[in-house]
Amino acid sequence: MKVRVWARRRGAAPLPRTLDRRGLYILPTRQGLVFALVLAATLVGAVNYQNNMAFLLAFLLAGLALAAMVHGYRNLLGLTVTGIGAQPVFAGRPARIAVRLAAGSRDRPAVRVALDRAAAASWNLEAQREAAVEIDLPTRRRGLLPIGRLVVSSRYPMGLFRVWATIDPQAACLVYPQPLAASLPLELGSDGAGTGQAGPGIEDFHGVTPYQPGDPPRHLHWKSLARGQGVFTKRFDERRGSGGLLDWFAVPEPDPERRVSILCHAVLDRERRKQSYGLRLPGRLIRPALGRGHRHRCLEALAHLSVPGGSGP
Amino acid sequence: MKRPDPHMPFILAALGIAAAPHYLRLPPWVALASIVLGLYALAAALGRAPWPGRIWRLGMTGLVVGLVAAAWGLAFDREAAVAVFLLMASLKPLEIRTPRDRMVTLSMGYLVILTALFSSDHLLMGLYLVGAVGVLTAAMIRIQGSGGLWSGDLRLAARLTLQALPIMAILFLLFPRFQGSLWGFGRETVARTGFSEELTLGEISRLVPDTRIAFRAEFETPVPPPGQRYWRGVVLWNFDGRSWRRGVGPAAAGGPVRGAGESRYTIALEPHGQHWLMALDLPSGAPPGALLTEDRVLRVPRPVSVAMRYTLVSVTLPEPGPAGRRASAALAVDPDTNPRSAALARRWAADGAPAAAIVRRALDFFATQGFVYSLAAPPLLERPLDTFLFETRRGYCEHYASALAFLLRVAGVPARVVLGYHGGEVNPFGGYLVVRQSEAHAWVEAWIPQQGWTRIDPTGVVAPARLTEGVVRALPQGELGDDSGLALWGPLAGLARRAGYGWDAIHAGWQRWVAGYSFQRQQGLLGRLGLSVASAAGVLGVTLVAVAALGLLVWAYLHLPARRPRQAPDEVQRLYRRFAAALARVGVVRPPHEGPWAFAARAVAGRPDLGPEIERITALYVRLRYEPGGTAADLAELRRRVRTFRPSRRPGRRLGPNGPPPALQAG
C-alpha cells in the first residue's frame, strides 16, 4: 500500500478551492500583443483607405480576441483544486507533487499547473472528471518542504491571453533524510526496554544451532569451529517487538546531519532485510518493529529531528 | 538537418486559403512561386527535404525582391507591393523554429487577407474573409499544441468566429467613421467601368454584353414606369466631328429644379471610377458631398472608388428653367466636319421655323428614312455622320444622339448629349430597380424657348421597343447570341432568372449595409437611434451604446451553457470501459466518478495477483487519455493488454467505493 502524506491544511486557503471571479486574472500574452499589432495595422489601413472590407477584418479580429478572452476565462472558471499532496521522498530526489483538479461541468483543455519553484505540467481535463497533475519539485534538505504557491493557468484557446489563479494551499511535502551508507557497529541498542541506558555491544545471545546454508557468516560461532566441534550458528532472540535498536548516540559520526543520514540508511537496510529495528533519538524512542508504516514512522522522526548545531529543521 | 514539424501542414493550409484571391489576381509566376515555396516547406516539415539554411533563405529573399523589381520595374505599384508581401509570407514558413515563429507566420496570414480585401468589396470577398480568418484561427489553436483532432480545432475556431461576428457587426456600425483619410495619400484607383466623359461612336454598344450592375435604386415613391426610367450621368458639350467630350470648365452650381412627378429614392452606386453620380432625370438637388451643376450633373470631387449610397429627389416633369450661362456653347459646331449633314440641317432651318418644328423635322427624318436600330453598325471612317445619315443608316443610340445633336446645332437649336442609362428591372425579392451596364444609353437635350432644356431621344423614334422593353427586345433578332440560347432553356431560364434575382437581393443587402456603409449612412443609423455624433454628449452616448452592447454580448457568452462533452467514446475510452467491465466481473466495480488511479489502487488491493497488469493498463490509459505523449504504440499495447485481460473468478470480498480504505488516490 502506498503511503501518501496529504496536504496539511492550515486554514488560510483551504482546499478544495473552486476558481471564481475574484481569484482569476487575465492578461494578454506576447502572442496576444502581436495579434493586437496586426489588428491595429488593419484598423489604420481601414480608416486611411475608408475601406469597409478592411474595417470588417479589423472588427472580426477584435471580435475573435474578445471571444477568445471569454473562452479562456471560462476554461478556468469553476475549476476546482480538490487537493494537493506528495509522496515523501529522500532529500536530493525530486518530490512528485500531485495536484488534484476536478473539471466540473465542462471540458477544460490545456490547463497548466505550476509551482513557484518547479517546472509546470499541462493537462487536458474532461468534464465531470478528476485528474491529478504531477509536478516534480526538487528537494535538498530533510524536513517539511513548503510546496509554496500554486499557479493554475491556461492560454486556451488561441494563446492570446493567459488566465491564471494563484493558490497558496499552505501545504508541505515531507522530505526524508538522504540515506548515507556507512558501516555501523553491529546491533546497536538494547531490546528496547526503554531504560535509555543502553551500553554498546550487548547482544541478546540466545544459543547456537547447527549451521544451515544461508545463515549469515558473521553469525558463525567461531569458538565451536575452532574447537573442532563442527559448524554452528549463533541464534539471537527473535521475539516480536524486540530487536536491534538504532541508537543516535552510538553512531560514530560527529556531524549530526551525516549521523541522521547514516541512521536513515540503517533503517532502510533493516527494513529491506526484514530485521526488526527500533530507533532511539534525542528525546524520542521508537520501539523495534517492522513494516512500511514503521519505516515511515522512523524516517519521519529522522526527517523532523532537530539537532543542536545541525542544519535540520 | 531534418526536423519534422507536425504543425506545418496546418499553417500552410491556412496561409494557402488566405492567399487564394491573390493567386487569381497576381501574375501567374508569383502564384506559382508562392505555391512551390509552400510545397517545399511542407516536404521539409514532413522530413522529406532539408530545411534551407540561413544563406539559402537570404538568397531566396533577395531573388524574390529582384524578380518583382524586374517584373514591375519603375511601375512599382500597390500590386507589386502585394506580390512582395505575399512572397515574403510564403518564405516565412521556411524559417519557423520556435512557437513564436509560428505565431508570427500566422499573423502574416491575417495581413495577406487584408491586402486581398483592397481589391474588391464583393459579397464573395466577405465570405472569403470570414472563412479564411476562421481557418487561420483554427491553425492558431492548433499551434497551441493541446493535441486532439484537427476537426475539433476547426469546430472550436468556427465557434469563436461565429461569436466574433456579432461583435464585428456592433463595432462596424458604431465605430466612428470619418470623411477623408488619415493622410492625404492613399486612395487606390479602381478600374473604370461603364462609359467615360468621351463619346466615340461604338463606345456604348461595346457595353451591351456587360451585364454587371451599374447601380440599384430603391424608391420610396412609386417606381416610375419603364418609359420614364432615364438615368442621368454626364452631359457632353464639345463635338469635333467624330467624338463628343464633356468640355466644360469649372463646374458651376445650378439652382434647384422644380416640377411635377416627384420621385424620392436611394441609389446604391457600384464604384465606376468617374467623377459623377447617377440620378433619375432630373435630380432636384445634390446629396452631401456632391455638386449639382448647371447642366444637372452630380459632380463629386474624387472618382467613385467604393460603393456609395445616397438619397435623391428627382422630378420627371420639370418646369422650364433658365438656359444657363453656357447656352451659347450648345451651339458651337463646325459644319465642315460633316458637310452633307450640315446642309440637311440648314434646309430645315431655312424657313425660319421655331426650334420645336426643327426638332420635329429631325425626328421625322429618323423615323421615315429607313434607319435600323442595330449593334452591328458598319465602321464609319471619313465624315462619320454623313456616312451614317445617308449611307449605312444602321446604328445604336450613340449614333442617333450624336447625329441629332449635330443637326440641331447646325440648325441653330442649342443641343447637348446626355450619357446615362435607360431602363432597369425590378427585383421582386428586394423591390428595387437594378440597372446594368448593358442599359447604358445616350440621348439629346435641346433648348426650346418656353420649354427650357428638353429631353429628345431619337432612339425612341427608331426603335420604340428600346424604351419600353429594353435593349434585347429592341435589337434585331440574332444580334445578341445569348438571348436565343436563353429561349431554348424555357422554364429553366425562368428559374435561373429567379435565382439571379435572389442572389442580387442578397448582394444588394451587402452593398447597402457593408460595402456602401459610410459616414453618411452611420449618421442616418445613429439618427434613427436618436443619437448624434455632433456633440460631445452624443459621442459619449454612442460610445456608451457600443460598450453596453459589447458588454451584453460578453455576458451572454460567459453564461452560454457548456458544450456537452462528446458522447461517442473514442477507442481508448472503449478499451478502458472493457477493462473496467472485466474487473467488475470479478467484483471490483468502478463508480463513474472514480479516477483511473483510484480505481486501480482499489482493484490491486482487492486482487494483488493482477497488480502489474492493472497498473500497466491504467498507466497506458492515462497516458493516452490525458497526456500529449501517447503514441500509436501505446494504443496498440493497450489494445493487446485489454483483450487478453481476463481475470479468473475468485471468491473474494466485493469491493465498493466505500469499502475498505482505498490506496491513497494518486491519480
CA–CA gap between residue A40 and residue A36 (Å, rounded): 6
- Based on the domain organization, do B612 and B552 belong to the same domain? no
The domain boundary, picked from A172, A192, A227, lies at A172
**ipTM of this complex:** 0.72
CB contact under 8 A, A85 and B175: no
Q: Which three cell numbers stand for residue A27?
A: 492578461
Interface test with chain B among A26, A47, A48, A60, by most B beta carbons within 10 Å: A60
Give me the residue from B168, B177, B515 closest to A63, CB to CB: B168
Least confident of A136-140, A304-308, B325-329, B398-402: B325-329
Helix (H) or strand (E) segment spanning residue A84: strand A80-86
pLDDT value, residue B663? 37
pLDDT value, residue B325? 65
Q: What secondary structure does DSSP assign to B6-27, as a single string?
A: TTHHHHHHHHHHHHHHHHHHS-
CB contact under 8 A, A51 and B121: yes
Least confident of A31-40, B94-103, B487-496: B487-496
What is the CB-side half-sphere exposure of residue B170 using CA atoms within 13 A? 20
Give me the residue from B110, B146, B597 closest to A61, CB to CB: B110
- Based on the domain organization, do A151 and A291 belong to the same domain? no
Residue B650 falls inside a structural domain = no
Angle of the B339-349 helix axis to the B397-410 helix axis, nearest 10: 60
Asked if the C-beta of A57 comes within 8 angstroms of chain B's C-beta atoms, the answer is: yes
The domain boundary, picked from B143, B158, B189, lies at B143
Residue A221 falls inside a structural domain = no
- Based on the domain organization, do B598 and B637 belong to the same domain? yes
pLDDT value, residue A4? 36
Least confident of B439-443, B464-468, B485-489: B485-489
pLDDT of B252 over the 50 cut: yes
pLDDT of B160 over the 90 cut: yes
Residue-averaged pLDDT of chain A: 78
Strand order in the sheet with A25-28: A25-28, A161-167, A150-154, A108-115, A118-125
Strand partners, A173: A145
pLDDT value, residue A32? 93
pLDDT value, residue B654? 42
Residue-averaged pLDDT of chain B: 82
* B282 cis-preceded (ω within 30 degrees of 0): yes
Contact indicator for A145, A139 with CB cutoff of 8 Å:
yes
Residues from chain A that touch B168, judged by Cβ atoms under 8 A, are: 56, 59-60, 62-63
Beta strands in B161-318 (DSSP E): 198-200, 213-219, 230-236, 238-239, 243-245, 259-269, 276-277, 279-280, 291-292, 298-299, 308-318
CA–CA gap between residue B470 and residue B422 (Å, rounded): 8
What is the CB-side half-sphere exposure of residue B442 using CA atoms within 13 A? 31
pLDDT of B623 over the 50 cut: yes
Residue B319 falls inside a structural domain = yes
Contact indicator for B624, B572 with CB cutoff of 8 Å:
yes
Q: Which three cell numbers stand for residue A2?
A: 502506498
Residue appearing with cell numbers 491556461: A154
CB contact under 8 A, A131 and B667: yes
Nearest CA in chain B to A21: B558
- Based on the domain organization, do B479 and B518 belong to the same domain? no
Helix (H) or strand (E) segment spanning residue A119: strand A118-125
CB contact under 8 A, A107 and B565: yes
CB contact under 8 A, A53 and B118: yes
Is B281 in the active site?
no
Residues from chain A that touch B148, judged by Cβ atoms under 8 A, are: 109, 124
- Based on the domain organization, do B525 and B399 belong to the same domain? no
Cβ neighbours of residue A78 closer than 8 Å, sequence gap 6 or more: A18, A19, A20, A104, A105, A106
Nearest to A175 by CA among A290, A87, A291: A87
Determine how many CB atoms are found less than 10 A away from the CB of residue B374: 20
Strand partners, B312: B265
Residues from chain B that touch A57, judged by Cβ atoms under 8 A, are: 110, 113-114, 117, 129, 133
pLDDT value, residue B186? 39
Q: Which three cell numbers stand for residue A29?
A: 500574452
The count of domains in chain A is 2
Residues from chain A that touch B628, judged by Cβ atoms under 8 A, are: 122
CA–CA gap between residue B24 and residue A55 (Å, rounded): 23
pLDDT value, residue A28? 95
A124 lies in which domain range? 5-172
pLDDT in tens, A15-39: 788 888 888 999 999 999 999 999 9
Under 8 Å CB pairs connecting chains A and B tally to 197
More confident residue, B10 or B185: B10
Nearest CA in chain A to B114: A54
Contact indicator for B261, B221 with CB cutoff of 8 Å:
no
Residues from chain A that touch B164, judged by Cβ atoms under 8 A, are: 60-64, 66-67
Least confident of B128-137, B183-192, B295-304, B598-607: B183-192
Strand partners, A6: A85
Report the percentage of chain B scoring pLDDT > 70. 87
CA–CA gap between residue A214 and residue A221 (Å, rounded): 14
Please identify which of the residues B272, B397, B399, B504 carries the catalytic annotation.
Answer: B397
The domain boundary, picked from A140, A172, A204, lies at A172
pLDDT value, residue B7? 86
pLDDT in tens, B15-63: 999 999 999 988 899 999 999 999 999 998 888 888 888 899 899 999 9
Least confident of A111-125, A289-303, B498-512, B653-667: B653-667
Give me the residue from B117, B130, B595 closest to A131, CB to CB: B595
- Based on the domain organization, do B303 and B250 belong to the same domain? yes
pLDDT value, residue A132? 82
Single-letter amino acid, residue B281: D
Is B441 in the active site?
yes
- Cα B402 to Cα A183, B5, B40, B395, B459, distances in angstroms: 122, 69, 61, 11, 11
* A157 cis-preceded (ω within 30 degrees of 0): yes
Least confident of A135-149, B89-103, B191-205, B375-389: B191-205
pLDDT in tens, B189-222: 455 667 888 888 777 777 777 778 889 998 988 8
- Based on the domain organization, do A155 and A16 belong to the same domain? yes
Residue B247 pLDDT grade (very low, low, confident, very high; cuts 50, 70, 90): confident
More confident residue, B326 or B662: B326
Quote the minimal CA–CA distance from B434 to chain A in Å: 22
Give me the residue from A4, A52, A100 closest to B121, CB to CB: A52
Nearest to B277 by CA among B255, B259, B251: B251
Angle of the B8-25 helix axis to the B28-45 helix axis, nearest 10: 170
Single-letter amino acid, residue B25: R
| 3-class DSSP assignment, residue B128 | helix
Nearest to B299 by CA among B238, B229, B250, B230: B250
- Based on the domain organization, do A155 and A295 belong to the same domain? no
pLDDT of A8 over the 70 cut: no
Beta strands in B283-332 (DSSP E): 291-292, 298-299, 308-318
Residue A86 falls inside a structural domain = yes
pLDDT value, residue A306? 83
Quote the minimal CA–CA distance from B210 to chain A in Å: 25
What is the average per-residue pLDDT within B176-198?
Answer: 60
Residue A226 falls inside a structural domain = no
Asked if the C-beta of A78 comes within 8 angstroms of chain B's C-beta atoms, the answer is: no
Asked if the C-beta of A82 comes within 8 angstroms of chain B's C-beta atoms, the answer is: no
- Based on the domain organization, do B232 and B376 belong to the same domain? yes
Residue B516 falls inside a structural domain = yes
Helix (H) or strand (E) segment spanning residue B466: helix B464-469
pLDDT of A243 over the 90 cut: no
- Based on the domain organization, do A26 and A127 belong to the same domain? yes
The domain boundary, picked from A114, A146, A172, lies at A172
| 3-class DSSP assignment, residue A167 | strand
The count of domains in chain B is 4
Residue A184 falls inside a structural domain = no
Give me the residue from B144, B165, B306 closest to A159, CB to CB: B144
Helix (H) or strand (E) segment spanning residue B112: helix B99-117
CA–CA gap between residue B31 and residue B37 (Å, rounded): 10
What is the CB-side half-sphere exposure of residue A20 using CA atoms within 13 A? 4
Nearest CA in chain B to A132: B667
Specify whether the backbone of A267 is left (phi greater than 0), alpha (psi in -120 to 50) or beta. Answer: alpha
- Based on the domain organization, do B121 and B227 belong to the same domain? no
pLDDT in tens, B358-409: 999 999 999 888 888 887 777 787 888 898 999 888 888 888 999 999 999 9
What is the CB-side half-sphere exposure of residue B490 using CA atoms within 13 A? 1
pLDDT value, residue B483? 47
Interface test with chain A among B101, B140, B173, by most A beta carbons within 10 Å: B140
Pairing of strands A130-137, A95-102: antiparallel
Residue A102 falls inside a structural domain = yes
Interface test with chain A among B78, B85, B92, B103, by most A beta carbons within 10 Å: B103
- Based on the domain organization, do B300 and B402 belong to the same domain? yes
Quote the minimal CA–CA distance from B650 to chain A in Å: 21
pLDDT of B494 over the 80 cut: no
pLDDT value, residue B134? 95
pLDDT value, residue A65? 95
Residues 273-312 of A with CB under 8 A from B: none
Nearest CA in chain B to A35: B107
Residue B14 falls inside a structural domain = yes
Least confident of A245-254, B109-118, B232-241, B570-579: B570-579
pLDDT value, residue A312? 44
pLDDT value, residue A88? 86
pLDDT in tens, A193-221: 333 333 333 344 545 666 665 555 666 66
Give me the residue from B100, B129, B183 closest to A56, CB to CB: B129
- Cα B534 to Cα A116, A200, B170, B531, B544, distances in angstroms: 54, 101, 20, 9, 15
Contact indicator for B409, B444 with CB cutoff of 8 Å:
no
Quote the minimal CA–CA distance from B107 to chain A in Å: 7
Nearest to B11 by CA among B115, B147, B141, B159: B141
pLDDT in tens, B585-611: 877 777 766 777 778 877 887 777 878
B318 lies in which domain range? 198-485
- Based on the domain organization, do A132 and A265 belong to the same domain? no
Contact indicator for A247, A188 with CB cutoff of 8 Å:
yes
Residue A185 falls inside a structural domain = no
pLDDT value, residue A9? 36
Q: Which three cell numbers stand for residue A23?
A: 481569484
CA–CA gap between residue A133 and residue A102 (Å, rounded): 11
Contact indicator for B542, B174 with CB cutoff of 8 Å:
yes
What is the average per-residue pLDDT within B136-148?
Answer: 84
CA–CA gap between residue B19 and residue A70 (Å, rounded): 30
More confident residue, B418 or B584: B418
What is the average per-residue pLDDT within B625-641?
Answer: 74
CA–CA gap between residue B25 and residue B122 (Å, rounded): 14
Give me the residue from B114, B553, B562 closest to A105, CB to CB: B562
- Based on the domain organization, do B69 and B105 belong to the same domain? yes
pLDDT in tens, A73-100: 999 998 998 888 888 889 988 888 888 8
Please identify which of the residues B5, B281, B386, B457 carries the catalytic annotation.
Answer: B457
Q: How far is C-alpha B135 from the geometric centre of its chain's CA atoms?
A: 19
- Based on the domain organization, do A253 and A123 belong to the same domain? no
Cβ neighbours of residue B185 closer than 8 Å, sequence gap 6 or more: none
pLDDT in tens, B304-355: 877 788 889 998 777 777 666 667 778 888 888 899 999 999 999 888 888 8
Quote the minimal CA–CA distance from B531 to chain A in Å: 22
- Based on the domain organization, do B409 and B496 belong to the same domain? no
CA–CA gap between residue B93 and residue B102 (Å, rounded): 8
Q: Which three cell numbers stand for residue A144?
A: 517539511
What is the average per-residue pLDDT within A167-193?
Answer: 72
pLDDT value, residue A6? 39
Residues from chain A that touch B565, judged by Cβ atoms under 8 A, are: 106-107, 126-128
pLDDT in tens, B404-444: 999 999 998 999 999 999 988 888 877 888 898 888 899 99
More confident residue, A92 or A119: A92
What is the average per-residue pLDDT within B166-185?
Answer: 74
Strand order in the sheet with B291-292: B276-277, B298-299, B291-292
- Based on the domain organization, do A156 and A300 belong to the same domain? no
Q: Which three cell numbers stand for residue B351?
A: 424657313
pLDDT value, residue B14? 94
- Based on the domain organization, do A23 and A166 belong to the same domain? yes
- Based on the domain organization, do B407 and B502 belong to the same domain? no
